Each structure stands twice: as C-alpha cells, then as structure tokens.
C-alpha cells in the first residue's frame, strides 16, 4: 500500500506515562500517539521515535516518524488532528512530510538533553516532578571540572545501566557539558552523538557526587579509563531530565 511519511516534533510531560516506548499496559507516549493515529486513519500506524525516554522523563523536542495513507490530511492539519485525540500532557508541535528514507532513530546524529537540579533546602512546589531537589551545598566549579573529564569520545560502559552491551558498543562522543547556575536552579546541558540507557542520569548523579565533595573529578576519569571498570550507581532521578533537541 502506498504511504506518506510524516516527521513529528513532540513535547510531553513525562510524569503520567511509562516512558516513550510502547508497554503492555499501553500507557507509554508511543501508545497514545498510535491510538490517535488509529482514530484518524482507521488502521494501525506504528510511530518510530528518535530514542527511548524513561518513565518520568520529559521532552521539549522528541522526533518521530510515521507512515500514513497518502492525502489523508494536509501537513498543516495533522498536528491539530492528533492533539485532539491526545492527553493534554502530550502535544505534537509540528508535522511535515519527509522522504521515505528518513528514519527518526537511525538518521539521528546528535542529541541535546538538559537536567535541572534545585539546590535549596526545599523544592519549590512548581518544580515538583520537574527538577531534582539536592538540599546540601554543591560546588559548581568542581562539577564543571569533573564535566570536562567526560567530554570527548570515550567508552561510557561505566555509565550504562544495561550491563550486557557488547564491548565497543558503549563508545559515545560528548561534545559539551554546560553547567549554569541561576539562584537555586542548576542546569546541566548535555550535547552528544548519542546516549546509552540512563547514561545522562548516571553522569548527572556522578557529577553531583563530585559537587558534594564525596568524589573527585579524577574518579570520573578513572571510570572512563577502564572499559571493565565497576559501573557507577549514582543515578539522578528521572524528574529533572528533558530531551531538548534531536539533530539530523
């Protein structure tokens, strides 16, 4: 059957959902999108995302593609039509036609994530589910020094939650980790070629450990130096993590 490939730009509040990838319980972001397409197209449509996000992780700029019957709707109408069948916490921001060789995951070349830390005695109520409360003192300068150890191309096996990945498949490039403090809010911006399962959360947890004075930047360097090193287990919670942008 002929089809038209759509590229979708999607934002969502991750709190109510079981992550991006379809679940048996049918309450993941992908499941909601596929139900919306079913209502509009009258047939099952598979939505392919640029990558998975865990339960509780948010997105400003998730990218996905889907193959739909041709001339069903003009590009300008797809976003509104899908949003009419989606929960308020999921919004399709933009839809456009792309060629049949575009693939949201396989063609992705770079991803940008941010992680938000609320460094104060208590969490502001409007930050609930959107930032990680770290009440003790954090040395941002130490965190920046530790982050500099992580940039470049490395084997990030020590920062991968999946322990069964074959050797060599855990190599990634981080182009930049930018850490900015504005009052109690500390934002970490990760720009990389790709990220392993829970990698950003494990990197963030480890950087916070350095900022607390409980580990040194050299400790991170030692983890990177040995692909068979013991994995770090200091994972930041999902609440503060956002997929910001996917570049192709």
Active site residues: 54
How far is residue 85's CA from residue 118's CA, in Å, rounded to a whole number?
A: 34
What distance lies between CA 224 and its chain's CA centroid? 22
How far is residue 115's CA from residue 118's CA, in Å, rounded to a whole number?
A: 10
SS3 annotation, 41-83: HCCCCCEEECCCCCCCCEEEEEEEEEEECCCCCCHHHHHHHHH
Sign of the dihedral defined by the CA atoms of residues 199, 202, 206, 207, in that order = positive
DSSP structural state of residue 136: S
Sign of the dihedral defined by the CA atoms of residues 98, 112, 239, 222, in that order = positive
């Amino acid at each position: 059957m002929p089809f038209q490939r759509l590229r979708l730009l999607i934002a969502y509040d991750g709190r109510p959902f079981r992550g991006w990838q379809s679940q048996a319980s049918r309450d993941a972001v992908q499941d909601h999108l596929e139900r919306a397409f079913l209502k509009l197209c009258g047939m099952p449509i598979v939505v392919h995302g640029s990558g998975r996000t865990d339960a509780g992780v948010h997105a400003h700029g998730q990218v996905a593609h889907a193959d739909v019957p041709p001339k069903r709707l003009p590009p300008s109408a797809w976003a509104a039509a899908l949003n009419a069948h989606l929960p308020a916490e999921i919004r399709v921001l933009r839809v456009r036609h792309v060629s049949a060789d575009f693939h949201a995951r396989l063609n992705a070349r770079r991803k940008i994530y941010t992680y938000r830390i609320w460094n104060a005695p208590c969490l502001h109520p409007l930050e609930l589910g959107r930032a990680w409360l770290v009440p003790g003192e954090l040395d941002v300068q130490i965190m920046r020094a530790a982050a500099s150890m992580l940039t470049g191309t490395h084997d990030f096996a020590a920062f991968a939650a999946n322990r069964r990945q074959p050797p060599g498949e855990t190599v990634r490039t981080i182009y930049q980790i930018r850490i900015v403090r504005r009052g109690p809010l500390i934002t970490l911006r990760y720009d990389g070629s790709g990220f392993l399962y829970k990698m950003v959360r494990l990197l963030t947890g480890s950087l916070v450990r350095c900022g607390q004075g409980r580990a040194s930047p050299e400790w991170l360097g030692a983890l990177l130096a040995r692909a068979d090193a013991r994995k770090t287990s200091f994972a930041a919670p999902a609440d503060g993590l956002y997929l910001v942008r996917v570049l192709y």
